[in-house]
C-alpha cells in the first residue's frame, strides 16, 4: 500500500476518524444555541457569532486575571471560565431580547437586520475594549498536547475536551427541552403561542429565557473554541456561516436534525479534505448541501411547527 505499513495506515485511519468526530463536535456546539433561537423562536440571530466571541473574551479576561492575581489557580480556571461565559453571554442575550428582539417578533426579516446591526455594535465594542489584535487566553497544561494510545497515534487533548463538553451541553439541552417543565412551556409556545398564553404560560418570559439560553450556549461554544483558535473582534463572523449551514440543513425546528446535519457535514468535509485540497473540499460539501436542500427545502428533518 504505497510503502506504508498496515500499522501506519491504521494509525492514520484512527486519527482521521477522530478529526471527523472532532469537527462534528465543533459544528454541533456552534449550532446548538442557534438551533434553539432559530428553531424554537424563528429569530434569525445574525449576532450569534458575537455571543460566541463574548464567551471567548470572558475566558480571555478570566485567564489574564488568574495569571496576574492567582497564578496557582491556572490549572482550574478554565472550567470556571466556561460557566462564567455561559452566564455572561446569557445575561447579554437576556438584555438584547428585552431591549431589541421582543419589539420585532412580528417582523422576522427586520430581526435579521437588527441583529446584524447588533453584531456590528458588539464587534466595535470588542475592538474598543480589548483592542484590534487577536488574543489567546493562557491554557492549562492539561489541555495542551496529545494523548498517545500507541506510538503512532496522537489524539489532540483539546479535541477530546470539546467533544466531551459538546456531549454534556447536548445532553443538558435535551434534558431541559424534553424533560423539564420549562421545556414543556417552550415547546408549547413554539407550537401554539395563543393557546399557551390561554392556559397560563407567560410566553414573553419563555421567549426571553429561550433567547438567553441560546446565547448562553453560544458563550460556552466561544469559551471552548479558545482552545482551538484565537479570539479577535471579528472572530464571530468566521463561525456564523457554518452555524447557519448546520441549522438550516438539519431542519430549523429539530434538535435531532441539527445533530444529524452537523455529523454529515463534518464527515463529508473531513473525508473530502483528506483526499482533495481544502478549498475544493469546501466547494463539494456546499454543492452537495445545495442539491439536497433543493429536493428537501425543509432540511433533513422536516419542521413540525404548526403555523
Partner 1 sequence: MNSMITKGLPSIKLPALKKALSIAAIASACSMALGLSSTVAMAEVNTTGLAVTDTEVTVGILHSLTGTMAISETGAQEAEKLAIKQINESGGILGRQIKIIQEDGASDWPTFAEKSKKLLVKDKVAAVFGAWTSASRKAVLPVFEKENGLLYYPTFYEGLEQSKNVIYTGQEATQQILDGLNWVAKEKKAKTFYLIGSDYIWPRTSMKIARKHIENVLGGKVVGEEYKPLGNTQFGSVINKIRLKKPDVIYAAVVGGSNVAWFKQLKAAGITADKQTLLTISVTEDEVLGIGGENLEGFYSIMKYFQSQDNENNKAFVAAFKEMWGDDSVIGDVTQAAYLGPWLWKAAVEKAGSFDVDKVVAASEEGDIELTTAPEGYVKLHPNHHLWSKARVGKWNKDGQATVVYTSELIEPDPFPAGYQ
Q: How far is the CB of 22 from partner 1 (least distance, A)?
A: 6
| Closer to partner 1 by Cβ: residue 228 or 287 | 228
Q: Does 149 bind partner 1 (CB under 8 A)?
A: no
d(CA 205, CA 36): 15
Q: Which of 65, 121, 144, 195 binds partner 1 (CB under 8 A)?
A: 144
The residues with which 155 forms a beta bridge, in sequence order, are 147
Closest alpha carbon to 87 in 222, 201, 202? 222
Closest by Cα among 133, 139, 158, 146 to 29: 158
- Residue of 60, 26, 58, 41 lying closest to 213 (CA atoms): 41
Alpha helices for 1-73 (secondary structure H): 6-34, 41, 48-69
Q: How near is the Cβ of 304 to partner 1 at its closest, in Å?
A: 32
Tell me the closest approach of the beta carbon of residue 110 to partner 1, in angstroms.
25
Residue 225 contacts residue 26 (beta carbons within 8 Å) = yes
Please count the CA atoms within 13 angstroms of the CA of 301 that sit on its side-chain side: 18
3 state DSSP class of 206? helix
Q: How far is the CB of 170 from partner 1 (least distance, A)?
A: 20
Segment contacting partner 1 by CB under 8 A, of 70-78, 182-190, 209-217, 222-230: 222-230
In the shown chain, the binding pattern of residues 92 to 131 toward partner 1, with x for contact by CB under 8 A and - for none, equals --------------------------------x--x---x
Instruction: Determine the 3-state secondary structure of 114 from DSSP.
Output: helix
Instruction: Pick out residues in 33-62 that bind partner 1 (CB under 8 A).
Output: none
Binds partner 1 (CB under 8 A): choice among 79, 83, 277, 296: 277
State yes or no: residue 15 binds partner 1 (CB under 8 A): yes
What is the binding site for partner 1 (CB under 8 A)? 4, 8, 12, 15-16, 18-20, 22-23, 26, 124, 127, 131-136, 138, 144-146, 148, 154, 156-159, 225, 227-230, 232-235, 237-238, 269-271, 273-274, 277-279, 281-282
Amino acid at each position: 500500500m504505497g510503502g506504508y505499513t498496515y500499522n501506519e495506515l491504521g494509525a492514520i485511519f484512527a486519527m482521521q476518524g477522530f478529526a471527523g468526530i472532532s469537527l462534528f463536535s465543533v459544528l454541533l456546539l456552534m449550532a446548538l444555541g442557534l438551533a434553539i433561537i432559530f428553531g424554537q423562536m424563528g429569530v434569525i440571530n445574525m449576532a450569534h457569532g458575537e455571543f460566541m466571541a463574548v464567551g471567548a473574551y470572558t475566558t480571555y479576561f478570566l485567564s489574564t486575571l488568574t495569571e496576574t492575581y492567582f497564578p496557582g489557580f491556572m490549572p482550574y480556571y478554565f472550567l470556571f471560565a466556561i460557566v462564567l461565559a455561559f452566564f455572561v453571554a446569557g445575561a447579554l442575550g437576556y438584555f438584547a431580547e428585552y431591549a431589541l428582539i421582543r419589539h420585532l417578533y412580528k417582523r422576522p426579516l427586520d430581526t435579521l437586520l437588527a441583529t446584524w446591526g447588533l453584531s456590528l455594535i458588539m464587534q466595535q465594542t470588542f475592538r474598543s475594549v480589548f483592542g484590534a489584535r487577536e488574543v489567546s487566553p493562557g491554557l492549562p497544561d492539561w489541555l495542551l498536547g496529545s494523548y498517545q494510545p500507541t506510538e503512532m497515534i496522537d489524539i489532540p487533548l483539546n479535541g477530546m475536551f470539546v467533544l466531551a463538553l459538546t456531549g454534556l451541553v447536548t445532553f443538558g439541552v435535551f434534558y431541559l427541552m424534553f424533560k423539564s417543565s420549562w421545556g414543556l412551556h417552550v415547546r408549547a409556545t413554539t407550537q401554539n403561542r395563543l393557546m399557551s398564553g390561554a392556559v397560563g404560560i407567560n410566553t414573553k418570559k419563555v421567549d426571553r429565557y429561550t433567547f438567553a439560553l441560546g446565547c448562553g450556549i453560544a458563550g460556552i461554544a466561544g469559551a471552548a473554541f479558545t482552545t482551538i483558535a484565537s479570539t479577535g473582534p471579528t472572530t464571530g463572523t468566521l463561525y456564523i456561516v457554518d452555524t447557519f449551514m448546520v441549522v438550516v440543513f438539519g431542519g430549523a425546528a429539530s434538535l435531532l436534525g441539527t445533530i444529524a446535519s452537523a455529523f454529515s457535514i463534518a464527515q463529508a468535509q473531513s473525508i473530502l479534505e483528506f483526499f482533495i485540497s481544502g478549498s475544493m473540499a469546501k466547494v463539494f460539501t456546499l454543492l452537495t448541501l445545495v442539491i439536497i436542500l433543493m429536493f428537501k427545502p425543509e432540511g433533513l428533518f422536516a419542521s413540525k411547527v404548526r403555523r
